[in-house]
Amino acid sequence: MSIRQTDQPTIPDAPATGNTINQLDWDLLWERFGIAVVTVVIWLIAGLTTPGFANTDNLVSVLRQSAFVGVSAVGMTIAIIAGAFDLSVGSTQALCAWAAVSVAKLAGVFPAFAVAVTLGGIVGLCNGFLVSLVRIPAFIATLGTMFLVNGLTYIVTNGQTARFSGKPFVWWGNGQVMGLPVPSLVFLGCALVGVAILHRTSFGRFVYAIGSNREAANVAGVPIVKTTILIFVVVGLFTGLGAMLLGARLYSAGPGLEPGFELNVIATVVLGGTRLAGGRGSMLGTVAAAILFATLANLLNLNHVDAFVQRVVVGLVLLLALSVEGVRRRLAEYWTKQAARTSQASQPVREDQL
Amino acid sequence: MKNLTRTSKLLLSIFALIFTATCLTQNSAAQGSAKKKIGFSVYDMQYGFFQEMEKGTREAAQAAGYDYVLVDQKSSESTMVSATQDLINQGISALIISPFKPDALGPIVDAAKEKKIPVVIDDIGGGGTDYDVIVISDNEKGGILAAEYIDSVLKSRPNNSKKVASITCEPSAVYAARRNAGFEKRIKELGYQVVATLSGNSKQEEGYRVAKDILSAHPDVAAIFSCNDPMAVGAAQAIADSGKSGVKDVLVVGFNADEIALQAIKAGQMGATIQQVPREMGKMTVDLATKLMNGEKPQYSKADKREVYVPVNLITAKEAEALLKK
Amino acid sequence: MLLIVCGAFTILSRQFLTPGNLLNVCTSASVVAIVGLGMTLAIASGNFDLSVGSTAAFAGCVTMSLVQRIGVAPAILAGLATGASVGLINGLIVTELGVPAFIATLGMLTIVRGAALIYTGGRDIYLYGQTQYKILSSGFAPVLLALALAFVLWFVLQHTRFGRHILATGSNAASARRVGVRTSLVLLGVFSIVGATAALSGLVLSAQVLTGNGRLATGLELSAIAVVVLGGTPLTGGKASISGTVLGSVLVAVINNGLNLLNISIFYQNVTLGLLLLGAIALEALGHRRTKQLTTP
């Protein structure tokens, strides 16, 4: 997949190249805001057409549900911008959630939070180590860690689920502050932290650099090894936090919690506009995508869509959203060819294939 | 790219506005309707067992004149909580749930209680929560029945190796695991040796693979008990493929009384299965829900745990024939 | 590595080296190998296919539902065609709509699974005594199928233009296009093949248990990718190791079988698989000490 420039030198007033400039803007706009806009629109339409959607309880529930995948997706966004991804977040989540619930039972909320986040960080450290020092490609390394952590969780817990319903703990998953669900506020906070990390720290700059062009970054002196390890640690930390929230929401957690979670997280990030090729991303998109998925599940239930059909719909939405760019590009190519044929000015034919 | 950040802020504020607007203009009260609504949250519609349960629940609810809403947990506890929450938010008058993970019932029961919605649990487990009533088939008893059946058949066989194997469901199905636990305990009491306890991950093709491995490791194994029917049928196929009989050589017993198992039993490919009665259980839950909605107390089999028992039955060839005809 | 593991199990379990058991191992290896071989092609071309499990299930359902109506052989063909069609759709989404393969097949994973469930209405299709169809899974058939497929694909990759185009697309699609390789067509072909091999796996599985249902082969995609990786085909594309995939499948099958023979709890089986995967790759990575790309394919 070719890396496309975000900062094209402005093409001087060539006639009928309005198309070209517009194409560029549209792409970027769609990537950054597309999903957010879609989510808002869907909320509007659903509010008007689906009975039961637009009431407080339901909306709160939808927002709440989006947070659990969302928190982990914040970390994953950073990873994908750097061009890596982490398949082990599902297993990590199970382990951390179980730890959080167990510790909360024994020692209270804050220790639970500390343990969950730390565990996540440790797994992230292992991943980072495997990827940067042992030089295993991220896909395989995290695939292996996924199996490992999964098995370990079963062994440590002996297959049993931990349960705890202490009010201060479960408030983190079920409570509300000023009408908004607590996990969603945490999610929002994480997203803001994520944005800050990406745009205000040197680490963030390195992430973008590695994602855009690893070789160049290396040559330019970016500390690749340290950054890579840190990336995976960040993913692990966020996952651990999200895990604690989930454990609080469910009043319980055990091995085998949410198989397929990692794919949901990756799908959320990609749906949000961050491309797998790396180099750029949209945290706003991730937030919107998380909310969109939760909204979709909710709407499907409210409209009593058959469970088997639901699976098809969810997959279709994912594909549809990601095809928009491709379809638009096809159309643009077509129009560009037309314009080139009719106008005198020769347009630069861009190599904009995959 | 300053205008882009400004645009994001703009979008976020639009979003927030819409959210607050809808909150203020809508109240959380349900749509007023004359009919009462029953919500059923089911474990996973991919399985025959739950399809039967759903059918029973739906037919009973509709017969009683209720509106009926269904959500599928798709074998995920996170979906269980969110989908059931969707039900609760739709203004149901009673909640029937067959929980994927009873341990995660806490938030659901709390949310239901807050809205004064009675909670009826259909099988699997109660998770130690404050449900109103649970209809439960005795998994452990089922395992014991299987053990006793196997013993009764093998006793009369001349070269009874007294070796049996146990195939378990996926590790996270802790309530189904009671079947194997009950089986193994009883069969050991009866003087047998459990040579292998392996997991088939509740999948049919893995039941096949695991059974083949069991046969390799212990060619003289006399019986196999499987935690569910798909795996049992898979195991029976494996035995058939090895040139043996799932009845005469290695006695295969399953659990659930799924249609494929009944057919297999009838065709002489496997020995027996333990029947749960999901359809009846579905109906029972609706009756119980009605009672609860009318403010009556249900009749418990075990009052302190608010349990209503449903018997499990051993199904062998002759019963299988009759069941299939129904 | 394979030899060490086999040796260990031979010592630990008397039953390991018996012909019956070895046949079992080869059979279960073949099932994964068949789809793994297809996946090798996909990875060599620089893509993934996460939907193979669902495709396998769908094809299994289609075939099982048709066996009694149109006969065994036509039903098998129908199943394979179903798989190839799903693969073709995957390919179209990737080439025409520009969706990255990872996401495209991720979406298709749920779509096809849902389709399989809708097609069967969630019910199982069980065909007792269907001895003809059983041919697919009895005796040496799966092994032969896998070996034949391996040979065919190896031949294609080494000695045909198509094969060379696949590898070219995998190493650098843009350069390939510049020298005239019709990458879109190549990818369509690759995905269709992947779909067909997935279908074949599904058919063998459903023949083993003589049942078609929508739940078949969940998680097959991860096993397939794992054996390809174990076999040494790099995720970055451009190279393919057919023999590696076959050996990888055998290794995984041996481990699963061995652990079962020794009656080891499932908890440890996952840990073993993870360690195995990491260990094998680490060995290879440390052994070569080349600068590998750390980023995603």
Pairing of strands B163-168, B193-199: parallel
pLDDT recorded at residue B304: 81
User: What is the spatial distance between Cα A57 and Cα A179, in angstroms, rounded to a whole number?
Assistant: 9
Residue A107, both tokens: 């020692």
The whole-angstrom distance between B251's CA and the closest CA on chain A is: 29
Q: What is the pLDDT of residues A153-164, one digit of tens each?
A: 988 998 888 999
Instruction: Over range A253-268, report the average pLDDT.
Output: 89
Checking if the pLDDT of A2 tops 50, the result is no
Interchain contact, C211 vs B260, CB within 8 Å:
yes
Average model confidence (pLDDT) across chain A: 85
> What is the complex's ipTM, to 2 decimals?
0.83
pLDDT recorded at residue B34: 65
Q: What is the pLDDT of residues B87-127, one digit of tens each?
A: 998 889 999 999 998 999 999 999 999 999 999 999 988 88
pLDDT recorded at residue A275: 82
Q: CB under 8 Å to B262, separation ≥6 — which residues? A: B273, B315, B320, B323, B324
B197, B205, B217: residue with CB nearest C13: B217
- Name the band, by pLDDT with cuts 50, 70 and 90, for residue A213: confident
The whole-angstrom distance between C237's CA and the closest CA on chain B is: 32
- Name the band, by pLDDT with cuts 50, 70 and 90, for residue C14: low
CA distance readout (Å), C36 to B255, C40, C194:
33, 6, 9
pLDDT recorded at residue C285: 67
Q: What is the 3-state secondary structure (H, E, C) of B232-267?
A: HHHHHHHHHHCCCCCCCCCEEEEEECCHHHHHHHHC
- Name the band, by pLDDT with cuts 50, 70 and 90, for residue B7: low
Total count of residues recorded for chain B: 326
Q: What is the pLDDT of residues C142-172, one digit of tens each?
A: 888 899 999 999 999 889 888 888 888 888 8
Q: Is the separation of the CB atoms in A119 and A280 below 8 Å?
A: no
B89, B91, B171: residue with CB nearest A154: B171
Q: CB under 8 Å to B235, separation ≥6 — which residues? A: B167, B200, B207, B208, B210, B211, B224, B226, B246, B252, B270
Q: CB under 8 Å to C289, separation ≥6 — which residues? A: none
Checking if the pLDDT of B24 tops 70, the result is no
DSSP secondary-structure letter at B302?
A: B
C236 has a chain B CB within 8 A of its CB: no
Checking if the pLDDT of B236 tops 80, the result is yes
pLDDT recorded at residue B137: 85
Interchain contact, A297 vs B79, CB within 8 Å:
yes
Report the share of chain C in percent with pLDDT over 70: 88
In chain A, whose CA is at the least distance from the CA of B19? A59
Residues of C in contact with B215 (CB under 8 A): 20
Q: What is the pLDDT of residues A92-150, one digit of tens each?
A: 999 999 999 999 999 989 999 999 999 999 999 999 999 988 878 888 889 889 988 98
Domains and CATH numbers, chain B: 37-137+278-310 (3.40.50.2300), 139-276+317-325 (3.40.50.2300)
- Name the band, by pLDDT with cuts 50, 70 and 90, for residue C86: very high
User: What is the spatial distance between Cα B40 and Cα A301, in angstroms, rounded to a whole number?
Assistant: 12
Checking if the pLDDT of C13 tops 90, the result is no
B89 has a chain A CB within 8 A of its CB: yes
C123 has a chain B CB within 8 A of its CB: yes
CA dihedral B296, B301, B303, B306 (to 10 degrees): -70
Checking if the pLDDT of B1 tops 50, the result is no
Residues of C in contact with A218 (CB under 8 A): none
B212 has a chain C CB within 8 A of its CB: yes
Short-list C233, C236, C101, CA closest to C170: C236
Chains touching chain B through at least 3 C-beta pairs below 8 angstroms are: A, C
Which of A319, A349, A351 is most worth mutating to test chain C (most C CB atoms within 10 A of its CB)? A319
Q: How far is CA B309 from the centre of its chain?
A: 15
Scored b (16 or more CB within 10 A) or e, B67-81 reads bbbbbbbbbbbbbbb
Q: What is the pLDDT of residues B148-162, one digit of tens each?
A: 999 999 988 887 888
Higher-pLDDT residue of B31 and C65 is C65
For residue C24, the SS3 value is helix
pLDDT recorded at residue C33: 93
User: What is the spatial distance between Cα C249 and Cα C243, in angstroms, rounded to a whole number?
Assistant: 10
Q: CB under 8 Å to A111, separation ≥6 — which residues? A: A103, A104
Higher-pLDDT residue of A192 and C263 is A192
Interchain contact, A161 vs B103, CB within 8 Å:
yes
pLDDT recorded at residue B71: 94
Q: Which residue has the tokens 């370990």?
A: A152
Q: How far is CA A22 from the centre of its chain?
A: 28
- Name the pTM for this structure: 0.85
Residues of C in contact with A149 (CB under 8 A): 274
The whole-angstrom distance between C71's CA and the closest CA on chain B is: 21
For residue B170, the SS3 value is coil
Angle between helix axes C141-159 and C161-171 (nearest 10 degrees) is 80
- Name the band, by pLDDT with cuts 50, 70 and 90, for residue B177: confident
Q: CB under 8 Å to B94, separation ≥6 — which residues? A: B36, B38, B39, B117, B118, B119, B120, B289, B290, B292, B293
Q: Which residue has the tokens 């199928």?
A: C145
Interchain contact, C110 vs A311, CB within 8 Å:
yes
Partner A, chain B 267-326, Cβ-Cβ below 8 Å: none
Checking if the pLDDT of C291 tops 70, the result is no
Residues of A in contact with B18 (CB under 8 A): 40, 43-44, 47
Chains touching chain A through at least 3 C-beta pairs below 8 angstroms are: B, C
pLDDT recorded at residue C293: 43
Say which range, A291-300, A344-353, C53-62, has the weakest mean pLDDT: A344-353
Sign of CA dihedral A336, A341, A345, A351: positive
